[in-house]
Amino acid sequence: MTYRIASKIWPPAWQPRGGVFDLPDKITELNDLEQRAAAPDLWDRPDQARELMQRLSALQEEVQYWRHLRQEIQDTHELVALEDASLEPDLIAETDRLEHEMNQAEFRLLFNGPHDRYDAILAIHAGAGGTDSQDWAAMLLRMFLRWTERRGFKTEIFDSMPGESAGIKSVTVGIKGRYVYGYLKSERGVHRLVRLSPFDAAHRRHTSFVLVEVWPDLGDEVQVEINPDDLVIDNFRASSAGGQHVQKNETAVRITHQPTGIVVSCQNERSQTQNRETALRILKSRLIQLEEEKRRQQLSQLKGAHVDAEWGSQIRSYVLHPYQMVKDHRTEHETGNTAAVLDGDLDAFMEAYLRHTLGAR
C-alpha cells in the first residue's frame, strides 16, 4: 500500500526547481520585491511603483500556491509512512486528488506571459461565407461559452450584432477567472469550418471563416494615455436580436479611435455612462495589444522571420464533412471528436499551443 500510493506523488522534499518556475529563486525575488515595496519613496515614481506592485501581487499568489501544494504533498507522505491499512481508502482518494492538482500545476507553468493571469475580452467576427459564416460565428460563441462553464469562469456579453437571417455578425464578451487570458490567447486568429450547408437548398459543402480576437482585460492596473480629441463617441439605441429596442433612450455607446481606426461598442448596461466606461476599457486593452503586436513584428523583422497576417491564415480547421476532424495548423494537434470540441472541450488544443510557443522560444 505504501509504495503504490507514495509512488504517485512527489517526495516530501520536492521543490519545483528550474524551467519556467524555480521556487527558491521566486522566493528570493519575492523577498527583494517586498523590501523595495516597503521603501518610503516608492511612489515618487508612480509608473515604476505600479509595475512593481503588480509583479509583487502576482508573485505572492504563485509562491503561496506552490507552498500550499508542497505542504499537502508532505502531509500525505507522512500519513503514508504510518502504514495504517485503515487509512488506505482515504489516502488513495487524496493521492488521486493531488495527482490531478499536480497536473494542473504543471499546466500553470505554461502561463509565463506578462498578462496571462488577467481576465480577457473575446471578440468574434463573421467573415467570408455569408449566412454560413454568421452561423459559424454563433457556433464558436457557444463553444467558448461552454468552455467557460466547464472552467467556472464568469462571462458578460458587452456587444452583439445579430446576423441577417441566422447567427451573429459579431459579438464581444468579457470573461473573468484565473488565467483566462493565458488560456484564450491560443484562440486568436481565423477559425475555418467545412460542412454541408444547412442554408444551401442543394445541401452543398461550404467553407466558412470567422475571426477570433482576444485581449487581456487589464482593468485599472495598467495606465494608457488616450487623447480625448482622438475619440469619436456615438450614442445609439441598444437592440435585441429580433430588432426590438431594449432601451428607448440612446444608452449604447460606440467609440472610434481615429489614429488607429479601432472601433469598440457596448450596449449591455442600462446606463450610458456604464457603457462608455466599458467601451473605454475595451479600447484600452486593444491599444495595449496593438502596441505589443507592433513590437513583436519589429522583433520578427529584425530576426528575418516572416510575419503572417492574422486574417486569411486560419489557425484551426473544423471539418464536419466528408470526414470529422478538428486540426490546429500551428501545433498539428488534432482530434476526430468534433462534437466534444464544439461543446467546449478545448483544453487539449490550448495546452498544445502553450507548449508549442514555449518550445519555440
Residue 116 and residue 181 in contact, taking contact as beta carbons nearer than 8 Å: yes
- Average pLDDT score, the chain: 83
Q: Rounded to the nearest 5°, which phi and psi values hold at 217?
A: -90, 100
- Positive or negative: CA dihedral 150, 192, 334, 293: negative
Sorting pLDDT into bands at 50, 70 and 90, what band is 19? very low
Angle between helix 46-81 and 88-108 (nearest 10): 150
For the residues 138-161, what does the mean pLDDT come to?
96
Angle between helix 46-81 and 23-37 (nearest 10): 140
Question: Tens of pLDDT along 262-294?
Answer: 999 998 877 888 899 899 989 988 888 888 777
Residue-wise over 217-248: b if at least 16 C-beta within 10 A, else e?
bbeeebeeeeeeeeeeeeeeebbeeeeeeebe
Which range scores top for mean pLDDT: 83-87, 241-245, 295-299?
Answer: 83-87
Measured CA distances, 356 to 110, 140, 311, 352, 359 (Å): 10, 23, 21, 6, 5
pLDDT for 36:
92
Sorting pLDDT into bands at 50, 70 and 90, what band is 150? very high
pTM of the predicted protein model? 0.74
Supply 66's cell numbers.
506552490
Residue 268 and residue 157 in contact, taking contact as beta carbons nearer than 8 Å: yes
- Strands 252-257 and 262-266, sheet pairing: antiparallel
Question: Tens of pLDDT along 170-187?
Answer: 999 999 998 899 999 999
Of 206, 212, 158, nearest to 349 (Cα)? Answer: 212
19 or 80, higher pLDDT: 80
Q: Report H helices in 84-184.
A: 88-108, 130-151, 180-184
Roughly how many angstroms between the first and final C-alpha of the chain, as a whole number?
43
pLDDT for 285:
87
For the residues 56-73, what does the mean pLDDT come to?
86
For the residues 254-268, what does the mean pLDDT come to?
92
Sorting pLDDT into bands at 50, 70 and 90, what band is 12? very low
Supply 239's cell numbers.
437592440
Sorting pLDDT into bands at 50, 70 and 90, what band is 113? confident
In this structure, the chain runs to a length of 361
Q: Which long-range contacts (CB under 8 A, 24 or more apart) does 147-150 make?
A: 147/344, 147/345, 147/346, 148/175, 148/177, 148/344, 149/344, 150/344, 150/345
Question: Tens of pLDDT along 120-132?
Answer: 999 999 987 789 9
111 or 9, higher pLDDT: 111
For the residues 81-108, what does the mean pLDDT come to?
84
Q: Which amino acid makes up residue 241?
A: A
For the residues 241-260, what does the mean pLDDT come to?
71
3-state class percentages of the chain: helix first, strand second, coil last, to nearest 5: 45, 20, 30
List of residues 6+ apart from 21 with CB closer than 8 A = 62, 66, 109
- ∠ CA 35-67-182, nearest 5°, is 85
Separation CA 102–CA 97 (nearest Å): 9
19 or 78, higher pLDDT: 78
The residues facing 234 across adjacent strands are 254
Strands (E), the chain: 119-126, 154-162, 168-176, 189-196, 205-217, 231-236, 252-257, 262-266, 314-319, 325-328, 334-335
Least confident segment among 37-46, 166-175, 332-341 = 37-46
Question: Tens of pLDDT along 203-246?
Answer: 899 999 999 999 988 776 666 788 999 999 999 887 654 444 44
Least confident segment among 47-61, 280-294, 308-322 = 308-322
Domains along the chain?
2-108 (1.20.58), 119-304+311-359 (3.30.70.1660)
